Structure 1
Amino acid sequence: MDEQEALKRNGTERAAILLLTLGEADATQVMKHMGAKDVQRIGAAMTQLQNISRREVTHILEQFTTTIEGQTSLGVGVDDYLRKVLIGALGEDKAGGVIDRILFGRSSKGLEALKWMDARAVAELVRQEHPQIIAIVLAYLDSDQSAEILAQFPQWLRTDVIMRIATLDGIQPTALHELDEVIEKQFAGNTGALKSSIIGGVKTAANILNFMDSSQEGELVEQIKKVDEPLGAKIQDLMFVFDDLASIDDRGMQEILRAIPSERLLLAIKGADEEVKQKIFNNMSQRAAEMLKDDLETRGPVRLSEVEGAQKEILALARKLAEAGTIQLGGKGEAFV
């Protein structure tokens, strides 16, 4: 039963359990290498864990090729543990806002706070601003969060904003000043975290679209092509969808499969292109492939949104591995690295 419970855990929950088994110093070092989104998600998951059995912990740690010894005390004093780890990883000033956001639902101040805010809240914050300001904000944030924010806007504004992101070549001083004023007005905090830098561009626009629902993603690309056919084609060339996994070399596919929980993989490949399924089966052991095929046959109908959600998780993982240089992705056009 404990093994079954462990298999049901998603990647965020498994990471939270792993960090809770480490000492504060080691957990701190790990979290220093995480992005804002990952820290928030894993931190929130830590606070939700209760009564985790030692056997379940062992099953999860075996998947990280790690063993544990001694009794665990997961679920006891998590708030205090999380506070110490976050302060060690982020520093006391920044950690204060993160802790407030995770534990008490209070938002921190300053431009960096946007990364910790709910997508709907950020959308409301910038909705009335000029589309160029919205484009700069979304280009600055993580692509998955930007996709969620973009989904809150009407179609015409989505198209306008994503085209501005695609053609954005850094931040002009006037636009940066305007952005500073907007954030200052809303938070009355320090906006010095954002410096003039090269953000935006076709690749950023493509990454944001990759995180959107398939229907919204398709509509946006078509709308962009109607306005600017070459720009729409450039964005589409850099987009990477689930069926493109078939173009990854075997070593790259094996790297991806090692990091995907079996339950999420099962969901993702339901309804996937046969070429993708075969690529996945070919890069698993014969026994694992047969088990996955059996699970596919016996698994009942699932919501399309669940399938797409699992596929987006795997694509996000693939992009992270590509950015780290571990694998190379082949998209619809040139290589996506």
Structure 2
Amino acid sequence: MTERSDLDRAAILMLSMGEATAAKIMARLGRDEVQALSQRMAKLSGVSTAEAKSVMQGFFEHYREHSGISAASRQYLEKTLDLALGKRLARGMVDSIYGDALRQELKALQWVPAETLARFFRNEHPQLQAVLLAFLPPENASAVLGALPGEAHDDLLYRVANLKEVSEQVLDELKATLARCLQFVSEQSTAKVDGVRQAADILNRYQGDRGALMEMLRLHDQDTAGMVADNMYDFLILARQSDEVLQALVQEVPTETLALALKGADAVVRDALLAALPKRMAQGLEDAQKAMGLVPLSRAEQARGEIMALVRRLHEEQQLNFQLFEEKTVS
């Protein structure tokens, strides 16, 4: 008896299942798979009862052997997909499954400084270093390579260029090393925050009585309150100043600097400044902004810093009636 191909056995199995079950399986196959299987089913002939029984028995033995596996190993997937797709397609699919799974785990490393990764992997086997570089995004891999010893760069790059397949054992070693690396990073790293600046920004945007809140802060600690107040000279608070203050300030600031500072600024600040100026001056300021076109954010932030440094100096010299907090009013 001639040995049946995998496609023949699949066709025999499908014909033995009945129309309803076969239709459900067909619905999960690709177009080319359905076409090939349908053609073979239509042309199938000379199948004895014993042969059909043998095919079905092989299927259920295979099922019983592997149905208890909760996560398929690479070897099992390769064997199963070899039968279903052929070696060439199966190998590509298995590589993509395991490679994509590893890339998901490597995403967390994109936030780890390259110097830290290099220091942690420096003593690992060069082949493991090469696998790491192969699976990292190119920009991260290049930074890590640059942080590793220079005399090893050509060897590592050569190893990366010659990588085609990575065994499951090597991938497991890499995963274990990555787990230790992330544990090391989590133990060593600390979150940094500029609390004084953050408190000033919060206070500048506070919708309640800022003056009363600052007085309460002074009761806690005069020095801390003073540092918070120093950081409150933020460009945003220009929107809370009177027209008289804004008009006086504009007289002290070059038009080019003011136009640059307003590039990308909060709309409430921009509107307050333009509304406080005479129409001709406001129009001139808008024209100066348009003439600048696109500007780097750093230049705009520098201009805002220069303006607020001037505001603070004029305020401290009592030449500008600038209000860090709204004054209480009475009727």
TM-score for both structures, normalised by structure 2: 0.31
Larger Rg: 2
More helix by share: 2
